[in-house]
Amino acid sequence: MTSKILQAITVVFTLSVATASASPIIVGGDPSLFYDLALSVQTSLTLIPGQVGFLQANIFNTGSLPIAFKDYDPANPIGGYGYDFNSPGAAIGSFGYQFVPGPNGLAVTEGHVDPLTRRPFSCCIGSPNFSNLNGVVIQPGTGLSFDLLSFAYDSNIAVGTNTNVTTAIPIAFGSPIFAGFNSGNFTIPITAGENAASGNFSPVSLTNFTFSPAAAVPEPSTLFLVCSGLAASVAVRRRVAKERQ
């Protein structure tokens, strides 16, 4: 990872999130039974082109109930995403990505994915996989650090290449809650560097949302995945439940 013949990509996170604070999600009308959490994300990451790097997040359970993650199944036909929201449990994903000025040889997806392969006809998006969280339970008063996003640059990326990636992270609870927490948008400046490293964790503000039992997690209509190249722009729109390219 530190070989002088390898270039590296430094990913520095600048958070730009909603200022409102999330409220606890009360279960069954009993104020003593509620979900609540604090989310933080690594502030920097260095990637070596041609290799996959992982951005970590930390969830600290500040509620009174355990946060139990659903099993992730990429073949799950409900929503086409991998989670069955008609069953209890927590799920995590992304509301989408925006690349400015373009992906510049960068690929990204949610979860721990290695190797990271772009989906057919996609400029920059791989297939997500959160099976690293299958069966994980975060008890009240405890925290968990895990791989939130996977990144990979093409091996020929040049030092000095810059890409700003904007995304938002939802954490949703299935039946009978159908509600969750949304991080709001945060922007990731990605720059070519010399050494591999990761930064400290920085808190991310959260807001509340609800969604229909028939859907997975609602997508903000204003968030699009824009993959713009030198000669053309490719619009990609991503839902937690479905990717359309």
Residue count of the chain, please give it. 245
Residue 1 lies in a domain: no
Residue 184 lies in a domain: yes
Asked whether the beta carbons of 79 and 116 are under 8 A apart, the reply is: no
Burial of 97 (0-12, 13-18, 19+ CB in 10 A): buried
Residues spanned by the domain of 60: 8-244
Q: How much of the chain, in percent, has pLDDT values that exceed 90? A: 29
Give which of 41, 1, 6 is closest to 196, Cα–Cα. Answer: 1
Question: Quick one: pLDDT band at residue 77, thresholds 50, 70, 90?
Answer: low
Residue 124 lies in a domain: yes
How far, CA to CA in Å, does 210 sit from each of 27, 71, 132, 134, 182?
Answer: 13, 21, 25, 23, 10
Residue 50 lies in a domain: yes
Question: Quick one: pLDDT band at residue 145, thresholds 50, 70, 90?
Answer: very high
| pTM of the predicted model as reported, rounded to 2 decimal places | 0.78
Residue 3 lies in a domain: no
Tens of pLDDT, residue by residue over 1-45, are 433 323 343 334 333 333 346 899 999 899 999 999 999 988 777
Q: How many domains would you assign to the chain?
A: 1
52-61 and 207-210 as β-strands: parallel, antiparallel, unpaired? unpaired
Residue 225 lies in a domain: yes
Q: Please state the separation of Cα 65 from the chain's center in Å.
A: 23
